[in-house]
Amino acid sequence: MNQKEVMQFRKAVQEAVNKADLYFLIEGGAPLDEYDSCVDNIVSILINQKPSHEQLYLKLCEIFKNEDFGLPLPDRKEIVDLADELLELYGNLIKHQ
């Protein structure tokens, strides 16, 4: 995967994370880069570890739990839905290589 593909993939992941807006930060007026550290971790996990759905779900829980948002972890369904979308994005990336 070249640098351009990684950057395009990162952008798609950021859009998915911002759309999910698990902590309603974007909806509340936070900048679109509010989840950047989460996005970077997610991109790294997807590209380097190629996790299963359950593994990605657990990693997402860990990522969002460890962020200093000062809020409880979102509902399981919201994280499962985000994992679904992220795995679909990753699958589409792999198909086009």
pLDDT in tens, 36-88: 999 999 999 999 999 999 999 999 999 998 887 888 888 899 999 999 999 99
Q: Can you give the residue ranges of every domain in the chain?
A: 3-95
- Residue 34: count other Cβ atoms within 10 Å of its Cβ: 19
Both structure tokens of 18: 């911002």
CATH class of 3-95: mainly alpha
The mean pLDDT of 11-18, rounded to a whole number, is 97
Predicted structure pTM score: 0.92
CA distance linking residue 17 with residue 32, whole number of Å: 10
CA distance linking residue 94 with residue 97, whole number of Å: 5
